[in-house]
Amino acid sequence: EVLLVQSGAEVKKPGESLRISCKGSGYIFSSYVISWVRQMPGKGLEWMGRIDPSDSYTNYSPSFQGHVSMSADKSIVTASLQWSSLRASDTAIYYCAREDGWNAFDIWGQGTVVTVSS
Amino acid sequence: QTVVTQEPSFSVSPGETVTLTCALSSGSVSTAYFPSWYQQSPGQAPRTLIYNTNSRSSGVPDRFSGSILGSQAALTITGAQADDDSVYYCVLYMGRSWVFGGGTKLTVL
């Protein structure tokens, strides 16, 4: 079975750093791009950007460029999303999703809840 | 910045057919945008329904279908069921990036 399993919920203070993860299983991890999607409380889905685990090439939505960074480690079949300085407005659920080329997102992680509050 | 627009809400009775649409703020949606559709129930991760305009994801009932209608992408639910009461999102490919629509809250009652 193809799965993306994300790390658990996080509670952080503004200004703190954070890394959340997304571990793939049941497929060749480096063969599929991973996208990250944000869902703020009570709001819709927003595409944040993607990373190609085969070469760690990234491209970010302009809305998120410079505030988050994406990485991937093929050896542990894990993609990560990282913040160096969190804001309260980063409070959201973050999903990773596998991209199947033009077929968009075929597999989704279960989501990681991030709460940023002083 | 390109905006992808969906109906904010829709209401349908069980057994009825409903078509949800996905439009661009400027221009027409075509197959070149590789439209896809996702269903999200409360507290759940999104579920893939339709990809590449009209291909149904594995395990998705055939009452869900995708198409291009005029200048918009469309998701049609033929014979809506109570289980279909969810939020539906479309996604379009914009060349190196994806853009989600705002979602349509479908109420089945």
Q: Report pLDDT for A103.
A: 84
| Per-residue model confidence as pLDDT tens digits over A64-118 | 999 999 999 999 999 999 999 999 999 999 999 999 988 889 999 999 999 999 9
Sequence length of chain A is 118
Mind listing the pLDDT tens digit for each residue in A17-38?
999 999 999 999 999 999 999 9
Q: How far is B16 from chain A (nearest CA, A)?
A: 26
With 90 as the cut, is the pLDDT of residue B95 above it? no
Give the chain B residue nearest A41 (alpha carbons). B43
Q: What residues in chain B have their Cβ under 8 A from chain A's Cβ atoms? A: 1, 34, 36, 38, 40, 45-48, 51-52, 55, 57, 87, 89, 91, 93, 96-103
Confidence band of B2 (pLDDT split at 50, 70, 90): confident
Q: What pLDDT shows up at residue B82?
A: 96
Q: What's the confidence (pLDDT) of residue B59?
A: 95
List alpha helices for B9-103, DSSP H.
none
- Which residues of chain A lie closer than 8 angstroms to B48, CB-CB? 104-108
- Residue B82 zone, left/alpha/beta (φ > 0; ψ -120 to 50; rest): alpha
In this complex, which of B46, B51, B93 lies closest to A108 when CB atoms are compared? B46
A35 vs B52, B87, B98: nearest CB: B98
Q: What long-range pairs does B106-109 form, CB within 8 A, spacing at least 24?
A: B106/B9, B106/B10, B106/B11, B106/B12, B106/B18, B106/B20, B106/B77, B106/B80, B107/B9, B107/B10, B107/B11, B107/B12, B108/B11, B108/B12, B108/B13, B108/B14, B108/B80, B108/B81, B108/B82, B108/B84, B109/B11, B109/B13, B109/B14, B109/B85
A-B Cβ pairs (cutoff 8 Å, strict): 62
Among the residue ranges A31-35, A56-60, B51-55, B94-98, the one predicted with the least confidence is B94-98
Q: Under an 8 A CB cutoff, do A108 and B51 touch? A: no
Shortest distance between the Cα of B86 and any Cα of chain A, in A, equals 12
Phi, psi of A76, deg, nearest 5: -115, 15
Q: What percent of chain B has pLDDT over 90?
A: 94
Judged against a pLDDT cut of 80, whether residue A61 lies above it is answered with yes
pLDDT grade for B54, boundaries at 50, 70 and 90 = very high
Residues present in chain B in total:
109
Q: In which band, very low, low, confident or very high, does the pLDDT at B1 lie, cut at 50, 70 and 90?
A: confident
Nearest to B100 among A46, A62, A108 (CB): A46
**Residue of A97, A102, A107 with shortest CB distance to B93:** A102
